[in-house]
Amino acid sequence: MKIETKVAHFSSPLYLESGRILEPYEIAYETYGVLNEQKSNVILVCHALSGSHHAAGQYPDERKPGWWDGLIGDGKAIDTTKYFVICTNVIGSCFGSTGPMSDNYPSEEPYRLKFPVVTIKDMIRAQMQLLSSLGIYHLRAIVGGSMGGMQALQFGVDYPNLADDVISLAATYATRPWTIAFNKVAMEAIRRDPRFEHGNYPRGAFEEEGLDGLAIGRIAGHISYLAPDSMETKFGRNYVNNDGLFELFGRYEVERYMEYNTNNFSRIFDPLSYLYIVKAINTFNLARGYDSLHEAILRIKARVHLISFSSDYLFFPSEMAHIAKMMKRNGQEHSYLEVQSSYGHDAFLVELEKFEASIAKVLQ
């Protein structure tokens, strides 16, 4: 599989939904496979909150491959012998695209809290600029899970003629109060951490020790990504062998797992980027800018394929089913699959074998 990683630079303004302008800006992106002469074999893959443009393949210095490596590659469901796959890092992130710790041009100081609030609409508008710069004006498909699924749906609404198929996994039509409440834990934990310094921390401040506030907030997020059954199966009531049961800070295995994963995360993910991306997720609403959700959905011309997961407690299956019911009433081409899973929201990253055939079938 041919892999290329690039950064595109844009000097033209990006007009944001808030009315503010981002100028100049950069988009990091990765491509897999070969673009055909007609540019008709392009699939756009959109990432979730903590993801990046590195969706597949493995870099020489990394322990794990890209976050959807099991799905993207030669002979896989998203077959890179047939398709040219593009995955971009969203604006606001900390993995190469312009975000709050980027230079606030013409200064060399970071934007920090001067960075504008970005939305899912803004993220896809920036990706449209990238596609245009590559001379790509039509897509075979757009695929994404969680926040990536939000982007896929937003593309379908805002750019009805862009793609043949839209495949959205583990997403929703609008972020519900339950999810916003989980996200609030992370936001407040970050903001109240003294080392956060109201966003005025230096670049690289947390690479060695991480930020406790982000680690604590990520625990809440991690709980929402899992499901009770999967946690019971994985950990049960097992206790850490060398921790005493009657030590106040002795830990169950599930506690140690949360500590390990969230502490590592807080070293590699910028806390300001986390706040900005969570804000984009919280403000997601397909109906915004249109008279109603019905009007927004009615704009979609692509074939839409919705995949939910039975134990997803972040974006419930009923939310995806609601979109499917609206499309059915409208006579719009669509399919809906509820995958039976005990892995919770993270199933779209973990249990690929339960839906990869469905994606392959759509792309055939």
Check if 79 is active-site.
no
Check if 146 is active-site.
yes
CB atoms within 10 A of CB 80: 23
Give the number of C-alpha atoms closer than 13 A to the C-alpha of residue 252, restricted to the C-beta side.
9
Question: Cα 291 from chain centroid?
Answer: 27
Catalytic residue, chosen from 50, 122, 345, 346, is: 345
Nearest to 70 by CA among 91, 51, 56: 56
Nearest to 319 by CA among 149, 87, 144: 149
Q: Tokens in use for 138?
A: 């039509």
What is the chain's alpha carbon radius of gyration, rounded to the nearest angstrom? 20
Catalytic residue, chosen from 79, 165, 312, 346, is: 312
CB atoms within 10 A of CB 154: 28
User: What b/e readout covers 1-39, taking b as 16+ CB neighbours within 10 angstroms?
Assistant: bebeeeebebeeebebbeeeebeebbbbbbbbbebeeee
Taking the C-alpha atoms of residue 80 and residue 75, their distance in angstroms, rounded to an integer, is 7
Catalytic residue, chosen from 50, 93, 97, 146, is: 146
Taking the C-alpha atoms of residue 309 and residue 350, their distance in angstroms, rounded to an integer, is 12
Check if 47 is active-site.
no
Nearest-10 crossing angle of helices 253-268, 228-235: 110
Q: What are phi and psi of 45, to 5 degrees?
A: -110, 130
What is the set of active-site residues? 146, 312, 345
